[in-house]
Chains A and B, each alone.
Chain A
Amino acid sequence: MNAENKLPKQVFRSVGTRPVRPDGVDKVTGRARYGADYDMPGQLVGRILRSPHPHATIKKIDITKAEQLPGVKAVITSKDLPDLTNGDEDLLAILENCMARKKAYYDGHAVAAVAAVDANTAKAALKLIEVEYKIHKHVTDVDKAADPKAPVLRKDCITEGVSPAPTKASNIAAQSEFGHGDVAKGFKQADHIVERNFRTEQTHQGYIEPHACVASVSPDGTGEMWVCTQGHFVFRQQCAQLLGLDMAKLRVTSSEIGGGFGGKTHLWLEPVAMALSRKANLPVKLVMTREDVFRASGPTSATSIDVKIGIKNDGTITAGEATLRYASGPWKGSWAALGAMTAFACYDLKNVKTTGIEVLVNRPKTTAYRAPSAPMAAFAVESVIDELADKIDMDAVQVRIKNAAGEGTQSSYGPVYGPIGIGPTLEAAASHPHMSAPLKENQGRGMACGFWFNFGGQSCTHINIDIDGSVTLTVGTIDVGGARASLSLVVAEEFGIDYEQVKTVIGDTSTLGYNEMTDGSRGTFASSMSAIASVRKAIDEMISRAAIMWDIPAEDIEWRDGHAHATGKGHANLAPLSIADIAARAGKTGGPIAGHTELNADGAGVSFATHICDVEVDPETGLTRVIRYTVIQDAGKAVHPTYVEGQFQGGATQGIGWALNEEYVYGEDGRLQNPGFLDYRIPVCSDLPMIDTQILEIPNPNHPYGIRGVGETSIVPPLAAIGNAVSNAFGVRMTHVPMSPPRILDALEKAETETA
């Protein structure tokens, strides 16, 4: 298959090993400090009042009684967060979501907030805030919201991306089309066509640590914030803009993070904490409850997807078409566009068309969730491909191999692919022992493929050579899944020193230039690219210092194995200088030694995975258990294979929860019925088998070590792989995720009725 390696074969000394992570001891002994573990002197406790209505105009808010309660230091509403967004539509959406202005758009939407001396006083104050609402009809279902007769959330919502522009407002915020060829012609060439609607319910990232921050804003216009986030530089920028502060005067420090998966790329409560602090003139700590997290942070979209695919008897797919409706909450998103771009990205199709439709609903503001939007699209497309394979009596893997995209394929979202890894993952699946292992009664096996873009972005790193010869790497991308270990390995590799000599830390926003978030699978990819460049600058400097120490030209010195070596004629008697040797003399040879880099780490390269899954279904109860699971994915170069495997396993686990159990359940009243982990059940260890992994290493030609991001793609195939496994067990096509016991039983019953 097309897996050309444009990098020369590299031999690594540190990269590819599996040392213990540097943050491990603190995490298992409780020393690590998360969002809620930091205190500032005199800090107040913040609490937020949330709308109980899914759609209501806020006619009046009276905070007088709350303000008069002893112990209350500040009460704020949207009036304390004026619109300073200067026409920035995305930032205004963040502001409106953090504190409702004229309307509350969903159950849980913040309408006011309190800072008080303790939690009990803050809670009591919330009860004293009087809000007068005018309740409107609401809509929480994506298809119902897209209906022209639905209650319209925003009277100014005119669909973007269609020509001519509609004259009437609707809940369809935007439409995007992708594709090429002629799908009508392609369908005419097909021997078989399958057309179905698939639905996926809204799920939450389910990170264990709730959102938390401590904010302090001084009367002199300076501020600081300690926060659990995936991107403290982005948080600083947006908070400064929303509060009207100078960015340089706001210092944001990221805490350890108990999971993010995209959900901590967005501001939910931080501007509120800052506005409270500014009004109270004291620091304020705000921590979401689990209920707050479910009701008022950002889950992924609920979707409804129509898919039509045609195939020839020889297995050639002749055309693929999909219309993807994604709920984005009350503000315009670009989630359906991402679904439309990724839906058919695994395949080499001559005729393909996808349409993404962004739909406003009275639910929380949707945000990213690990390869955002791709799992739902893959569920629909990969399910239909399995059904077509069955129709032509062709093996499910082989039909995918026959149609797999390769180098030179025009992708379904437009550009022509360079070297990519879908083919090798499929070949590995075909020959994997899992595919031929025997199955028992009520068991089924499914497989599916997944695609994600990955990206890089703005990154800035700093290397310090300490006087004892140890090395500190400071990065601005927070460590979600072991990045400090991986980045230390990369630095050790580039210097030619031991991993134990390197310490990687996450700098606050005043220590480095701007860094984008840890998202898009970019943390290790981008920061390692920058770190390598920083190391190379530090090496250049150490060579200069060695030249001074030896009094020879720098051109006569080369760096290898962590030492400066004199290579010119007449230098044979000069023993190599270690980093410690050079660092010890730094004060006399020019001062501290460092290396600094800022870059745009583009060229992340797209990513593919193939998953294999065995399930066992209890036909009496509908309970479905995953009994064996295998992830095969391209990592480019696995820097720390254990953490790469962890990412593969973590993504698969979240996908399994999404596929089988997880679901936002809204009542007729538009209120969320299950905002807690008892009623919204994520998988726990006892629910899962050991997830097997196979790492493929097809180097990314755009990275010095061939690294690709690995954090997201593994959540893309599980919905479809499990759906296909259930279908193969019982001959029932599952079209609605999650495939919870009631839905499985319904499907089995329908199948029995049809057979009878």
Chain B
Amino acid sequence: MATIHIWGALRPCVGGAETIDLQAGTIGELMRLLEEQYPLTEPFIESGIAVSINGTIYQDSWQKSLPDNAEIYLLPRIAGG
């Protein structure tokens, strides 16, 4: 079970929680479970959510595994110039 930290704008989609617990082994599973359990997150997932695993930000690698006890943050997808 991973504890997922949620950034402010996404919290209304998960009932206002700052963190949620999901049984996910990879980023892809995390996104699937997020959408299943919190359908309001779907537009955010569609437009892109970045995932920070122990401080390293992943924007696309949905096959990336979530290590046990990892620190996981969901963040807005980052734009660059």
Inter-subunit contact B54/A416 (CB<8 Å):
yes
In the assembled complex, which residues on chain B have CB atoms less than 8 Å from the CB atom of A519?
Answer: 79-81
The 8 Å CB contact of A453, one of B9, B12, B57, is B57
Q: Which of B11, B46, B80 contacts A522 (CB 8 A)?
A: B80
Interface residue SS majority, chain A: loop
B residues near A454, Cβ cutoff 8 Å: 80
Cβ B9 vs Cβ A712 within 8 A: no
Please state if A418 and B81 are interface contacts (CB–CB under 8 Å): no
Contact (Cβ within 8 A) B55 A418? yes
Complex formed: what's the CA distance from A261 to B57 in Å? 22
With A160-B9, A177-B8 already in contact, the answer to whether A702 and B56 are too (CB < 8 A) is yes
Q: Is the CB of A265 within 8 A of B78?
A: no
Check: A368 CB closer than 8 A to any chain B CB: yes
Residue of B nearest to A603 (CB): B56
Q: Evaluate contact between A458 and B60: CB separation under 8 angstroms.
A: yes
Closest to B27 in A: A602
Instruction: Judge whether B81 and A457 touch: CB under 8 Å.
Output: no
Check A178 against B55 for contact (C-beta < 8 Å): no
Write the nearest CB–CB distance from A433 to chain B, whole angstroms.
32
B38 on the interface (CB 8 Å rule)?
no
Which residues of B24-81 are within 8 A (CB) of A?
43, 46-47, 52, 54-61, 64, 71, 73, 75-81
Contacting pair B12 A414 (CB below 8 A): no
Q: How far is the CA of A370 from the CA of B58 in the complex (A)?
A: 20
The segment from A23-31, A32-40, A334-342, A689-697 found at the interface with B is A334-342
Q: Which residues of A contact B8 (CB under 8 A)?
A: 161, 175-178, 355
Q: Is A570 an interface residue (CB 8 A)?
A: no
Contact of B12 among A89, A165, A605 (CB under 8 A): A165
A354 to chain B, nearest CB (A): 9
A413 contacts chain B at the CB level, 8 A cutoff: yes
Contacts of B7 in A (CB 8 A): 176-178, 413-414
- Please determine whether B80 and A520 come into contact, CB atoms closer than 8 angstroms: yes
* Cα(A482)–Cα(B26), bound, Å: 36
CB closest chain-B residue, reference A355: B8
Asked whether any CB of chain B lies closer than 8 Å to the CB of A174, the reply is yes
Closest to B5 in A: A414
Determine whether the beta carbon of A372 is less than 8 Å from that of B80: yes
- The smallest C-beta distance from A439 to any residue of chain B, in angstroms, reads 33
Please give the distance in Å from A326's CB to the nearest CB on chain B. 12
The interface size bin for chain B is: 20 to 34
Q: Which residues of A contact B60 (CB under 8 A)?
A: 457-458, 600, 602
B65 smallest CB distance to A (angstroms): 13
Using Cβ atoms and an 8 Å threshold, which residues of chain A touch B10? 161
Pick the residue among B58, B76, B81 that contacts A334 (CB under 8 A). B76
Q: Which residue of B lies closest to A262 (CB)?
A: B81
Residues from chain A with a CB closer than 8 A to the CB of B5 are 414
Q: What distance in Å separates the Cβ of A200 from its nearest Cβ neighbour in chain B?
A: 16
On whether the beta carbons of A414 and B79 are closer than 8 Å, the reply is no
Q: A105 CA to B75 CA in the complex, in Å?
A: 30
State the Cβ distance, B18 to closest chain A Cβ, in Å. Answer: 9
A338:B71 contact, CB within 8 angstroms: no
A643 within 8 A of B: no
CB distance from B42 to the nearest CB of A (A): 11
A163 touches B12 (CB 8 A): yes
Residue-by-residue, is B1-16 near A (CB-CB < 8 Å gives 1, otherwise 0)? 0000101111110001
- Cα distance, A602 to B50, chains bound together (Å): 11
Bound CA span A399–B54, Å: 28
Q: Do A369 and B81 touch (CB < 8 A)?
A: yes
Contacts of A174 in B (CB 8 A): 9
Whether B80 lies near A262 (C-beta < 8 A) is yes
In the complex, A334→B8 CA distance in Å? Answer: 13
Q: Name the CB-closest residue of A to B12.
A: A163
Interface size class for chain A? 35 or more
Assuming A368-B80, A371-B81, A519-B81, is B75 touching A414 (CB within 8 A)?
yes
Interchain CA distance A539-B64 in the complex, whole Å: 27
Q: Does A705 contact B (CB under 8 A)?
A: no
Name the one of B43, B55, B64, B75 contacting A417, with C-beta atoms under 8 angstroms: B55
Which A residues are CB-close (under 8 A) to B47? 89-90
Q: Does chain B have a CB within 8 A of A667? A: no
Residues from chain B with a CB closer than 8 A to the CB of A177 are 7-9
Task: Check A455 against B9 for contact (C-beta < 8 Å).
Answer: no
User: Do B12 and A161 touch across chains, with their CB atoms under 8 A apart?
Assistant: yes
Contacts of A341 in B (CB 8 A): 75-76
Q: Would B55 and A602 count as touching, CB distance under 8 A?
A: no
B15 closest partner in A (C-beta):
A163
Chain A nearest CB, measured from B79 CB (Å): 5
Given the known interface contacts A165-B12, A177-B8, A178-B7, the answer about A602 and B81 at a Cβ–Cβ threshold of 8 Å is no
Among candidates A372, A456, A458, A605, residue contacting B81 with C-beta atoms closer than 8 Å: A372
A340: min CB distance to chain B, Å = 8
With A and B bound together, what is the CA distance between A160 and B75 in angstroms? 15
User: Of A89, A262, A263, which contacts B43 at CB under 8 A?
Assistant: A89
Name the B residues within 8 Å of A160 (CB-CB). 9, 12
A623 to B7, CA, bound (A): 43
Q: A420-445 CB contact bits vs B (8 Å, 1 = yes)?
A: 00000000000000000000000000
Cα distance A18–B59 in the bound complex, in angstroms: 32
Q: A414-B73, A417-B55, A453-B57 are in contact. Are A712 and B12 (CB under 8 A)?
A: no
A219 within 8 A of B: no
CA distance in complex: A653, B28 (Å):
41
A456 to B71, CA, bound (A): 21
Chain A residues with Cβ below 8 Å from B80 are: 262, 265, 368, 371-372, 453-455, 519-522, 712
- CB contacts (< 8 Å) of B46 on chain A: these are 88
Q: Are A455 and B57 in contact (CB under 8 A)?
A: yes
Of the candidates A411, A457, A605, the one whose C-beta lies within 8 Å of that of B59 is A457
B residues less than 8 Å from A521 (CB atoms):
80
CA distance A53 to B12 in the complex (A): 37
Q: How far is A7 from B76 in the complex, measured between Cα atoms in Å?
A: 29
Contacts of A334 in B (CB 8 A): 76-77, 79
- A418 and B71 alpha carbons, distance in the complex (Å): 12
Point out which of B7, B11, B58, B79 has the most chain A C-beta atoms below 10 A from its C-beta. B79
A370-B9 in contact (CB<8A): no
Residues of A near B54 (CB, < 8 A) are 415-416, 418
Residues of chain A within 8 A (CB-CB) of B79 are 265, 334, 338, 368, 372, 519-520
Q: Give, as a whole number of angstroms, the nearest-CB distance from B62 to chain A.
A: 9
Cα of A455 to Cα of B73 in the assembled complex, Å: 16
Instruction: Judge if A162 is at the interface, Cβ distance under 8 Å.
Output: yes
CB atoms of A453 and B78 under 8 A apart: yes
Q: Which residues of B have CB within 8 Å of A369?
A: 81
As a 0/1 sequence over residues 80 to 92 of chain A, the CB contacts with chain B under 8 angstroms (1 = contact) are 0000000011100
Within the complex, which residue of A89, A413, A416 is in contact with B71, where a contact is CB–CB below 8 Å? Answer: A416
Q: 6 closest Cβ contacts across the A-B interface?
A: A520-B80, A262-B81, A177-B8, A161-B9, A368-B81, A415-B52
Q: Show 10 residue pairs from A and B whose CB-CB distance is below 8 angstroms, ordered by the A residue.
A: A165-B12, A262-B81, A263-B81, A337-B9, A341-B75, A416-B71, A418-B54, A455-B80, A602-B57, A602-B64
Please report A residues at the B interface, Cβ cutoff 8 Å.
88-90, 160-163, 165, 174-178, 205, 261-263, 265, 334, 337-338, 341, 355, 368-372, 411, 413-418, 453-458, 519-522, 600, 602-605, 702, 712
